[in-house]
Chain A
C-alpha cells in the first residue's frame, strides 16, 4: 500500500554500445544497449537509465536510434540523458521512446532550460542530474560540503550541490539523479551523507548514484540517505548482484520493493 523503492540499472552508452562494466561479460551481445535493456526488464528492473556519455553532437543520430531500439524492447520506463541542450532536443528524445530525460551540464549553463522543458513536457519528464564532489578543504573554512561538477567531473562550477538541488526543484525538475563523482566507479558505496543532505533539502524524488558495490549499499542509500530509487551500472552488468538479489536485500531491510515476477513466459 505504498510507493515502492525503484532499482534502476544504468547503461552508459557511447557510439551505440554500452561502454562501462561490460569487459567481464562473456556474451558479446551484452554490449548492445537494447539487448541489455531487455535483459534487465525481464529480470525485474523497475526502470532503465540510458546515459549517452559521449554526447557529441555528431552522435545525436546514433543516440536516438539506440533509444528507439531500447524503448521498443522495454515494458518498464526508460530514462535517457546526455547532450540534451534545448526543448527540441528533449522533444526528439521523448519521441524516440524515452519517458524521462535527464539534463546536467546544459542545466548548469542555462537553468531556464529546466523550466522551459517542465512547462512543455511536465515536471515528471524532467530529471536533473547532479554530479557532486566533496570539497577537499571543507574543514578549513566555510562553504558548501559538496560542489557541483560538470562535463563528466572535469569542470568545477562553484555551485553548492545542495543549494543547486533546491534551485532545480523550484525551477521544475521532477526528480534528481544525484551522483557522487568521488565514488563513481570505485565501488566504495554511495555517498550517503550527500544523499541525505539532498533528500532532506527537496521534496522531489532522489535517485542515488555512484559507488554501489553490493546490496548493502542499496539498502543504506534508502534507509540512511533517504533516496527514493537506487541506480547502479557495473554491479549489474557484471552480474555481481542480480536485480532479484538487490530487491531481496531491500525487502529484508523493510524497504518496499516491487516483487520480481516469475520470469517464465506463458
Chain B
C-alpha cells in the first residue's frame, strides 16, 4: 500500500492571501500546488477555491484562466472540492453583490447579510452544526471560527439537505454546505487557529479516504 500524500491544487485567481491556505493544507500532510490554468489541475486529488473580494472580478479571472469549465467538470466527476469564503459563494448560481453569474454547482444565490449590526462581519463567531458530519470531528460545538465577509450563500432547493452549519450575525446565515464531493465554508479554516487546522485536517482525511475507495 502506498502512502502518497494527498495532492491539493489551490486555485490562484490573483487576489488575496494564499500563504495561509497552503500552510494549513501542508500542516494536514498534503502537498500543495497553485493552479492558474486548467492543465495545472492534472494529477491533483482535490481542489480548493479560496478567495476574498467580489464575485464578478473573481469569475472574470477564472474564465480568462480557463478554470470555470475545468472546475465545473471537476465537480461533475464527483471529485473533492472545497470552497472557502468567496470560494463558497462562487459555488452558487449567482451573486447579488454585483450580479455575477457564478459556478452553479449548488442551486442558490449569494445575498448581502440582512439585519447585521455592522458589516463586514469581521471576527470570530460560532458555527452551529445542523447535522453531524466528519468534517467537524474533534471540534467542540462552542469552538469559534474566523469570518470576514458581507455576503453569504443562500442554498435554494434542498437547503436543509446541503446545509451543514449556520451562524448568526444580525440574522442567521448558512456558514457551511456539503453536497456529494463539494464542500463550502463561509469562515476561514486556515485562519481559525487550532480549530481551523483540525477542520482542514478532517477534510484532507476525507479526501485520502475517498482516494482509497
A residues engaging B (CB < 8 A)? Answer: 1-6, 41, 46, 68, 71-72, 74-78, 91, 94-100, 119-125, 174-175, 203-205, 228-229, 258-259, 261
Contacts and interface: CB of A to CB of B under 8 A. Distances in A.
Contacts of A77: 146, 148, 188, 191
A75 B21 CA distance: 10
A124 B144 CA distance: 19
Given A1-B168, A72-B19, A122 B124 contact: no
A46 B120 CA distance: 17
Give the interface SS of chain B, mostly helix, strand, loop or mixed: mixed
Nearest to A175: B122
Given A174-B120, A229-B123, A122 B188 contact: no
Nearest to B58: A122
Given A6-B124, A204-B119, A125 B16 contact: yes
Given A75-B194, A76-B191, A124 B52 contact: yes
B211 to A, nearest CB: 25
Contact of A205 (B57, B123, B193): B123
Give the interface SS of chain A, mostly helix, strand, loop or mixed: loop
Most buried by A among B122, B143, B197: B122
A122 B118 contact: no
A258 B19 CA distance: 24
B123 A3 contact: yes
Interface of B: 15-20, 23-24, 52-54, 57, 86, 117-126, 128, 142-144, 146, 148-150, 168-169, 188, 190-197
Please give me the 6 A-B residue pairs with the lowest Cβ-Cβ distance, nearest first. Answer: A122-B53, A97-B19, A258-B124, A4-B124, A124-B148, A124-B120
Contacts of B53: 120-122, 124-125
B17 A71 contact: yes
Given A3-B123, A258-B144, A123 B150 contact: yes
Contacts of A76: 146, 191-193
5 contacts: A6-B123, A77-B148, A203-B118, A228-B122, A261-B195
B149 A46 contact: no
A46 B194 contact: no
B152 to A, nearest CB: 13
B52 A125 contact: yes
B150 A124 contact: yes
Contacts of A46: 123-124, 146
Nearest to B142: A259
Nearest to B56: A119
A99 B124 CA distance: 15
B52 to A, nearest CB: 5
Contact of B18 (A41, A95, A229): A95
B125 A94 contact: no
